[in-house]
Structure 1
Amino acid sequence: MKKVMMTSIATAMIASAMAAHAAQANQPIPRGIVAVRADSEVTTMITDLNKAVHAFREEYNQQLADIKKGNADALQALKVDNINAEISKLQASVDAANERMVAAAMNGGTGAGLKDKEYSDSFNAHFRKGEVQASLNKGQAAEGGYLAPVEWDRSITDRLVVVSPMRALCAQQNISTNGFSKLFAIRGTTSGWVGETAPRPETGTSTFGSLTYNTGELYANPAATQQMLDDSAVNLEAWLAGEVETEFSLQEGIAFLSGNGANKPNGLLTYITGGSNAAAHPWGAIKTVNSGAAAALTPEGLIDLVHELPNEYTGQARLIMNRNTQKAIRKMKDGEGNFLWQPSFQAGAPATLLGYGITDVAGMPDIAANSKPIVFGDFKRGYLIVDRVGVRVLRDPFTNKPYVHFYTTKRVGGGLLNPDVLKALSVGA
């Protein structure tokens, strides 16, 4: 009876916390002095999250104790799973709040004046009526397109860094052509020991290999009615930026992980041993570590994964996985009974596994035989995203009257930078 009452209280507490923070998850974090209050709200979320984790661990330990006594209880197992699911939601709320704090920091302080106000005003006029001032033809293309103003282009890029996990993690390079090639030295220099007067024959010399990062065209095609555009109260740049951000982040998130290189980036997972691009990089493929079970994760496999990465690459290392994988890991303990997964303990900090931060990447595979659900390493040194500078907007008021479409394009590519700084967990014995 006591156990049931404690569970009910814990579940009610979690439900209350979720209700209190559900609305907050979709609200923008304010800037300036009010941001202090926003930080306080994140702290409250973290407090509730840690209370939920404490309740989960008590219930899970009780479940394990019942199993050892031969009294396995399906109801108890269901309670544990329910609390675990609520923890996933609370942690997601904390992560979302942290992202909004980063976005506020990125975009804050830009209201002091546009660097290119005249052009931005013309850009807005083009949005509303299709009008273009001849003197401002630097944004005008022969087909009626417009290059985005500096501030607008940058705001989209900044927001993509926040909402697209791979952009936030990986290195980025702006290019002015269709592709970008990088040379990699393949170590081959040799040496030898000789006597004072012995001849010195020629020794081996390093060679070079290259990898080309081609771009594909990413597009969004949002639409608005002409009446909406005529309404001067509408912030058109903010509206279009939001539409573009949503579409671009969705497409990029998929491509940076599993893209096949056909008019899109080569995804990170394709460079893992056994993947379609395993032989593409001059330094080889991303090596794998077995999980220790045919179709599941084990604590030993996770520990092996972390220790497989050389120490010099662990300073900025973190793990990427999806929420289902995190849910499974929360029940795992080391040999001394300590839980491997730890929740966020302060604003701006991620959940951790074995002391390393976790980034929730929805496109990562689920746990299954032969899948690669976790990648660990220094992604800034491991994967490169290349951006063709500039966002182009084509205003189309004819195709779908009374809607005006804003066909927006950006060329982007990506590929493996250094396989040595990344390791993948492969589910298998």
Structure 2
Amino acid sequence: MIPVVETKSTTHDVASAFEDFARAFEAFKDTNDTRLGEIETRLTSDVVTDEKLTRIDAALDDAKKRIDRFMLERSRPPLGVTSDAPRDPAQAEHKAAFHAYMRSGEATGLKRLEEKALSAGSGPDGGYLVPDTVEREVLQRLSGVSPIRAISSVRVISGGQYKRAFSILGPASGWVGETAARPETGGPKLSEMSFPAMELYAMPAATQTLLDDSVVDIDRWIADEVESAFAEQESAAFVHGDGVNKPKGFLAAPTIEDEIWEWGRLGTIQTGGATFPATNPSDVLVELIYALKAGYRQNAAFVMNRKTQTAIRKFKDAHGQYLWAPPASLGQSATLMGFPVVEAEDMPDIALNASAVAFGDFKRGYLVVDRAGLRVLRDPYSAKPYVLFYTTKRVGGGVQDYAAIKLLNFAA
């Protein structure tokens, strides 16, 4: 009898969603064990078993999506409550002026404040800075929704780009006797990395009726509207962006087989074909893990999309234990061989020449650069009777340590 995996889509109880997820995984393991037993005895699995496993796997993904959504909603800080009101008089003045601009288009207060602060780019050409509380809310939401941002290093800058020097070889050193002559050491070989901040925009629309309603929380409304638009664009760029008017994703970095790895390229492990090997498929994952130096493995994580995770869920070790494990508690990630699994839907599917799995310490390996300031320009003319809000932020990104990330490439 096919086990029924319950899904409580009508409830917002996170605990219930987590229980659904746990039950779905137990049903998945039982059904997959049955499938493996059929393959061992008959060299093939039953079609009914395969279909059943596919349905349970889909239910498992749906339960995980609900948990992620509930946890994200719970983590959002309230914007409209009294405790969030700015305590600094200057911030309170900025917030009041911003609300007046958003609701009625009155920009006098914002112009005066930004002229007083000597802010560049203010006015009709560049829009106006949103209050700090709104900017913090948007960035916090992006950290929860954008998977690569959540595991990477983030730097806030005031200029147009972030530059950092790094040593390719490092200074020469060695052992020497107490009274022996000290030969002069060679100097470090330095180079420079540059991370420009590119403009990302969204254009939410509102009716004047909504803006005139004093009960509507303008701060929360603008954060809600730009969250998904910014997160979607960011997530894609951090994975495979080409660096042209957008951040450069880690999959856009040059690659080289890990045996001959050199700085400036990401090392790759080859699977030997367009899919995982038919026998001992998890061996390539072990090879991927140990391609990373020990200092990076301590904080490493797997990055892949849901389809790839579906294939890996079926893998077992030599003792019959599943290598993929569900989150131990709410708010935690699933694990693979003891390392967290980060779901990034912009990662490619398993296919020939695709790097469908990444493994590494992204805190050290990938850098996200945010230019301080989120700007809004009110446009009541272009889409009458709606009011458009051209909202922009500047963000950049790129690989900063090529030794910290390894890729699993599905190729011979």
TM-score (norm: length of structure 1):
0.85
Contact 2:268 2:406 in 1 (8 A): yes
SS in 2 for 1:304: helix
Question: Which residue matches 1:344?
Answer: 327
User: Where in structure 2 are the equivalents of 1:344-423 lying within 5 Å?
Assistant: 344-423=327-406
User: In 2 relative to 1, CA 356–400 (structure 1 residues): closer, same or farther, beyond 3 Å?
Assistant: same
Instruction: Indicate whether 1:125 and 2:100 are aligned.
Output: yes
How far off is 1:327 after superposition?
A: 0.6
Distance 2:29 2:182 in 1: 67
Matched, 1:78 2:59: no
The 2-side partners of 1:340 and 1:271 are apart by 29
The one of 260, 266, 269 equivalent to 1:289 is: 269
3-state SS of 2:128 partner: strand
SS of the residue corresponding to residue 264 of structure 1 reads coil
Identity level (%) = 39
Output aligned runs, 1:150-189, within 5 Å: 150-189=132-171
Q: Does 1:93 align with 2:76?
A: no
* 2:229 corresponds to which of 224, 242, 247: 247
Q: Flag the 1:272–1:327 CA change in 2: closer, same or farther, 3 A.
A: farther
CA distance in 2: counterparts of 1:391 and 1:423, whole angstroms: 34
- Contact (CA 8 Å) 1:91, 1:343: kept in 2 or not? no
Deviates more, 1:389-398 or 1:62-71: 62-71
Listed as ranges, the matches of 1:174-323 within 5 Å are 174-191=156-173, 202-273=184-255, 283-296=263-276, 298-323=281-306
SS in structure 2 opposite 1:72? coil
In structure 2, distance between residues paired with 1:158 and 1:197: 57
Cα deviation digits, residues 69-122 of structure 1 (max 9, x gap): 226311111111111121111122223333334335x97987252242222111
- Higher helix fraction (1 or 2): 1
CA distance in structure 1 between the aligned counterparts of 2:20 and 2:109, rounded to whole angstroms: 58
> Would the aligned equivalents of 1:294 and 1:428 in 2 still touch at CA under 8 Å?
yes
Q: Closer, same or farther in 2 for the Cα pair 1:313/1:398, shift >3 Å?
A: same
Q: 1:195 to 1:146 in 2, by over 3 A?
A: closer
The equivalent residue for 1:30 is none
| 2: CA distance, partners of 1:188 / 1:149 | 44
Unaligned runs of at least 5 residues, structure 1:
28-40, 276-281
Q: Following superposition of structure 1 onto structure 2, how do residues 11-26 of structure 1 map, counting pairs within 5 Å?
A: 12=4, 14=5, 16=6, 18=7, 20=8, 22-24=9-11
Aligned 8 A contact 2:254 2:264 in 1? no
Give unpaired runs (5+ residues) of structure 2. Answer: 116-121
Q: Note if contact 1:296-1:428 (Cα within 8 Å) is conserved in structure 2.
A: no
Aligned length: 395
8 Å contact kept, 1:342–1:351? yes
Distance, in Å, in 2 between the alignment partners of 1:195 and 1:342 is 53
The answer to which of 415-424 and 200-209 deviates more is: 200-209
What is the deviation of 1:233?
2.6
Which of 18, 22, 28 matches 1:56?
Answer: 28
- Evaluate the alpha carbon distance shift between residue 291 and residue 131 of structure 1 in structure 2; reply closer, same or farther with a 3 A threshold: same
